[in-house]
Structure 1
Amino acid sequence: MKRFIIPALVATIGIAAAPAVQAGELWRATGLQQPESALFDAANNRIIVSNIVGNPGDADGNGYLSVLSLDGKIVTQHWTDGMDAPKGMAISAGKLYVADITKVRVVDLASGRLVASIVVPNAVFLNDMTADHTGKVYVSDMLADTIYRIDGDRPEPFVRDALLASPNGVFADGGRLIVASWGKGIKPDFSTAEPGGLLSVDLASKVVSPLPGARRFADLDGVIAIGDTIYATAYLTGTLYRYEAGGTPEAVAHFKPGSADIGTDGKSILYVPLMNEGEVAALKLD
């Protein structure tokens, strides 16, 4: 696999650091190690966080998962060890699926025990994950313009399309996947020749469609939807965007560079991993 490097301070090169967000912030969990994803586990009233601990593309065995309480306290720092550079996560049928470079790790949700590793053939850099209403799991491959689908333990290419433009965040929303793309022509500092935007992939037809008014506006990382509103982060600037159909993306919060794969309780709270700060911030939405 090609070496894939995102320096911890890449976003500080030529980019002004935005101030930490104030309005709506409930708490910050500290003491984490390059937290990339924060997933709300509704069945167990907790937040699961993936910690990369090193180069996001290195199979170095340093990565692990942590558990936070809903008020931002670390319940278990090393809940699941034995990973390389864990990133996005999804829950399906009592199991936690974790994107880990070229594998998808499967964790027993009750115990935190790593029970399986699913090798995804031809994967380059697996990033975010989501599960649809039938329990099928999807994982983006950012460096291959591909989204894979996993049914049980069987991975298969779901859609491969240049329109995905380095797909990072994925979120199952009814009969579609919402995709946050990083953009085209990734440069050494991880800026892009053409910034990314928000896309929709129809689960039945697999047709990829840009969301109107949300094309080519930022190098996007995480994405979630609450009702008809989509939220997405831009890693390099730390910006949190809000988008509604018929409108254009609006910046609603500013963090330091490094905001990654956001999670939500599905109602009114967002969980924002701040990779470069080693923190997760909880925001109360208006």
Structure 2
Amino acid sequence: MKSPSILVAVAVAAIALAFPAQAGETWRATGFEQPESALFDAADNRIIVSNIVGNPGEADGNGYLSLLSSDGKLITRHWVGGMDAPKGMAISGGRLYVADITRIRVVDLASGKLISSIDVPDAVFLNDMTSDVSGKVYVTDMLADTIYRIDGDKPVPFVKDALLASPNGIFAHGGRLIVASWGKGIKPDFSTGEPGGLLAVDLAGKTVTPLPGAQNFADLDGVVAIGDSIYATAYMTGTLYRYREGGTPEAVAHFRPGSADIGTDGKSILYVPLMNDGEIVALRLD
């Protein structure tokens, strides 16, 4: 995510002492510039990091992507440039798709070349991305309660529903999309009148279903699913939550404010971008 208002809102909190290393923390990579998303590229065993570098809603040309090895070593600081405020990402068909305010940037994974940009008409603030088992790519528009699907190089509105309540994180899991909602009634400092929760969108029927026991508990940002567990970050507090259906969200790690669009190797590791600290943390799950 984030709006410049959020960065101001968390400035005081960022002065506090850093949290100690988290249980299960395997490495911590530093030196990034507002890292918003960390996506695991399984084919090349590496992590792609999006760097906003400035106002998250401004087309300033400052944004770029970095590459990390799976053990947290820097491969390339400036891998792909020519972006404004890159956020969530998805991989499909040898291409990397990157949400960049009102357009989708398309990168050839093999060469690291920016090959095209897809404008999304009526988009306000594109945020996170995911791809399903068929290779279809989806992106959230947080400030328009909308999810788009990218068919070829054409963006198509997939779901527009007030129930999405500022959809931020998105993750394809089985026959549905898991969505992390920021919440309703967003204020200038990006706090909410009603905090968000976890939702599911059926890929076939496009119905939006709140996940039981996981509503109105936090202003959520990134989300991934591993097995029967869903993990989500709360940007404003830095909390990482775990949720299993039928239960309630449980805080499993605490960072300073700024935990954003998490990634995973799909097995036992989470990659947590700490946007305000310029860091990526790898956590091994229990």
In the superposition, the TM-score normalised over structure 1's length comes to: 0.96
Kept in 1, the 8 Å contact 2:14–2:256? The answer is: no
Kept in 2, the 8 Å contact 1:21–1:253? The answer is: no
The equivalent residue for 2:10 is 11
Residue 71 of structure 1, CA deviation: 1.2
Kept in 1, the 8 Å contact 2:13–2:256? The answer is: no
CA distance 1:110–1:167, shift in 2 (3 Å)? same
SS at match of 2:10: helix
Kept in 1, the 8 Å contact 2:47–2:68? The answer is: yes
The equivalent residue for 2:243 is 243
The equivalent residue for 2:87 is 87
Kept in 2, the 8 Å contact 1:7–1:55? The answer is: no
Aligned AA (1:45): N
Kept in 2, the 8 Å contact 1:105–1:116? The answer is: yes
d(CA) in 1 for partners of 2:15, 2:218 = 15
Deviations 1:251-272 (A, max 9, x none): 0000000000000000000000
Kept in 1, the 8 Å contact 2:171–2:179? The answer is: yes
The equivalent residue for 1:232 is 232
The equivalent residue for 2:210 is 210
Aligned AA (1:48): I
The equivalent residue for 1:100 is 100
Residue 16 of structure 1, CA deviation: 9.8
d(CA) in 2 for partners of 1:202, 1:84 = 32
Residue 6 of structure 1, CA deviation: 3.6
SS at match of 2:143: coil
SS at match of 1:8: helix
2:170 paired with 1:174 = no
RMSD (Å), alpha carbons:
1.5
Structure 1 runs not aligned, ≥5 long: none
Aligned AA (2:186): I
Residue 54 of structure 1, CA deviation: 0.2
In the superposition, the TM-score normalised over structure 2's length comes to: 0.96
d(CA) in 2 for partners of 1:87, 1:221 = 11
Residue 13 of structure 1, CA deviation: 5.1
Kept in 2, the 8 Å contact 1:20–1:256? The answer is: no
Structure 2 runs not aligned, ≥5 long: none
SS at match of 1:163: helix
The equivalent residue for 2:124 is 124
d(CA) in 2 for partners of 1:79, 1:16 = 31
Matches within 5 A, 1:1-286: 4-12=3-11, 19-286=19-286
d(CA) in 1 for partners of 2:55, 2:154 = 28
Deviations 1:165-204 (A, max 9, x none): 0000000011100000000011111110000000000001
Residue 93 of structure 1, CA deviation: 0.2
CA distance 1:22–1:231, shift in 2 (3 Å)? same
Residue 73 of structure 1, CA deviation: 1.2
Kept in 2, the 8 Å contact 1:6–1:56? The answer is: no
Kept in 2, the 8 Å contact 1:20–1:254? The answer is: no
Determine what percentage of the aligned residue pairs are the same residue: 77
d(CA) in 2 for partners of 1:29, 1:241 = 22
Aligned AA (2:163): L
Aligned structure 1 segments of 4 or more residues deviating by more than 3 angstroms? 12-18
Residue 8 of structure 1, CA deviation: 2.6
d(CA) in 1 for partners of 2:67, 2:5 = 25
Residue 20 of structure 1, CA deviation: 4.1
Kept in 1, the 8 Å contact 2:230–2:242? The answer is: yes
d(CA) in 2 for partners of 1:20, 1:245 = 30
